[in-house]
A = this chain, B = another copy of it.
Amino acid sequence: MNGRSGAPHDVQPVAAVLAETPLFRVLGEGGIQTAARAGLARRYRPGQIIFHQGDPGESLHVLLDGLVKVVFTTEHGDEIVLNMLSRGDTFGEMALLDGSPRSASIVTVRPSWVFALPRARLLELMREHPGLADEFLRMLGHMVRRLTGQAADLAFLDLGGRLSKLLLQLADKHGSTEGVVDLPGLTQSDLAALIGATRPAVNRALQSLVSRKLIAIEGRTITLLDLAALRRRGGL
């Protein structure tokens, strides 16, 4: 970190994170360096918007560090959080499928460091490395599966079930320690938007889990005490 963050010059740290992602790993050492030089890294403060739903989309993004939420907004202003992303996750893939506008907004929750690769550069890379295209398709498959699962959860699980499942997922994907959800900046309103519920309802559901000793809350840190019971509650 030399202060000139976002400059295409400090390639090494960018390449280091890209090497951790399933998508870019297939490029190999050289390809990753090329990719890192082909894009631009930028830093964002919490609460900033990386791009808006509806914007023209011309780049693929990789979250080098930090935490962001994927927010879908309806015509009436209702918001649902489709996903939380942390280090090594990619977003903005939809722009590469067709030229269509961004289907959701990306909002930072914590200070974040984001790498953006123009569509044209990525297509070049794909031409050179067919494995990249394969991996890209695998990503899309995963996304479709996750979305259908989310729809099924909304249809079949009650609020407590959805919340239990969400906590397990958050701890698994973004938790620093096993079985702990410690995500500064993530409010109960965010949790509510992730499971399609209201903030007061989420609060009550959390308290209910606390009283049954399935979780413990201190400040913004949620510790999962009874994983088995939570999984049962979440329909797993």
Contacts and interface: CB of A to CB of B under 8 A. Distances in A.
A60 to B, nearest CB: 13
B152 A155 contact: no
Contacts of A98: 137-138, 141
A97 B154 contact: no
Interface residues of A, number: 32
Contacts of A154: 151, 154-155, 196
A75 interface: yes
Interface string A131-161: 0000001101101110110111011100000
Given A94-B141, A154-B155, A155-B154, A235 B148 contact: no
Q: Could you tell me the dominant secondary structure of chain A's interface residues?
A: helix
Copies held by the complex: 2
A4 interface: no
Interface stretch (A11-19, A76-84, A109-117): A76-84
Interface string A216-236: 000000000000000000011
A106 interface: no
Contact of A144 (B103, B152, B156): B103
A24 interface: no
A80 B155 contact: yes
A169 to B, nearest CB: 15
B141 A144 contact: no
A235 B75 CA distance: 8
A156 B196 contact: yes
A177 interface: no
A102 to B, nearest CB: 11
B80 A156 contact: yes
A100 interface: yes
A148 B103 contact: yes
A144 B145 contact: no
The 7 closest A-B pairs by CB, nearest first: A155-B196, A97-B141, A147-B147, A154-B154, A97-B137, A98-B138, A78-B156
Given A72-B152, A78-B156, 13 more contacts: A74-B156, A75-B235, A75-B236, A76-B156, A78-B152, A96-B137, A97-B140, A97-B144, A140-B144, A143-B144, A150-B151, A151-B151, A154-B196
